[in-house]
Amino acid sequence: AKSKSKGSYALFNDDFGITIDRQHQMERELKLSIHNNELCCYFQPQYDYEKKSIVGFESLARWHSAKFGMVSPVTFISMAENTGFIKELGRFVVDQTFAFAKTIQGRGIRVSFNASPVELLQADYVNYVIERFCYYGLTPGSVAIEVTESSLIESFDEVIKKFKILSGYGIYVYLDDFGTGFSSLTYLKNLPIHSVKIDKSFIDEVVTDRVGRDIVDMIVRLAKRLNLEVIAEGVETQAQIECIYDCGCRMIQGYFISPPVPWERALSLLDVMHK
Residues found near Ca ion in the complex (CB under 5 A): 114, 146, 176-177
Q: Out of 166, 195, 234, 270, name the contact with ligand C2E by CB under 6 A.
A: 234
Backbone φ and ψ for 128, nearest 5 degrees, come out as: -60, -45
Q: How far is CA 78 from the centre of its chain?
A: 14
Q: Please tell me the distance from the alpha carbon of residue 36 to that of residue 32, in angstroms, as a whole number.
A: 6
Looking at the Cβ atoms of 115 and 244, the one nearer to ligand C2E is: 115
Q: Considering only residues 244 through 263, tell me which ones interact with ligand C2E, judged by CB under 6 A.
A: 254-255, 260
Q: Out of 26, 54, 93, 159, name the contact with ligand C2E by CB under 6 A.
A: 93
Give the nearest distance from C-beta 80 to ligand C2E in angstroms: 9
Q: Considering only residues 139 through 168, tell me which ones interact with ligand C2E, judged by CB under 6 A.
A: 146
Contact stretch for ligand C2E (CB under 6 A) within 5-13, 32-40, 72-80, 152-160? 72-80
Cα angle 41-43-46, degrees, rounded to a multiple of 5: 150
Contact stretch for ligand C2E (CB under 6 A) within 45-53, 131-139, 167-175, 234-242? 234-242
Q: Considering only residues 191 through 230, tell me which ones interact with ligand C2E, judged by CB under 6 A.
A: none
The residues near 82 (Cβ < 8 Å, ≥ 6 apart) are 15, 27
Give the nearest distance from C-beta 146 to Ca ion in angstroms: 4
74 binds ligand C2E (CB under 6 A): yes
72 binds ligand C2E (CB under 6 A): yes
Looking at the Cβ atoms of 119 and 146, the one nearer to Ca ion is: 146
Q: Are 57 and 44 in contact (CB under 8 A)?
A: yes
Looking at the Cβ atoms of 188 and 231, the one nearer to ligand C2E is: 231
Give the nearest distance from C-beta 97 to Ca ion in angstroms: 12
**Angle of helix 86-103 versus helix 73-83 axis, rounded to 10:** 130
Binding site for ligand C2E (CB under 6 A): 44, 60-61, 72-74, 77, 93, 114-116, 119, 146, 176-177, 234-236, 254-255, 260
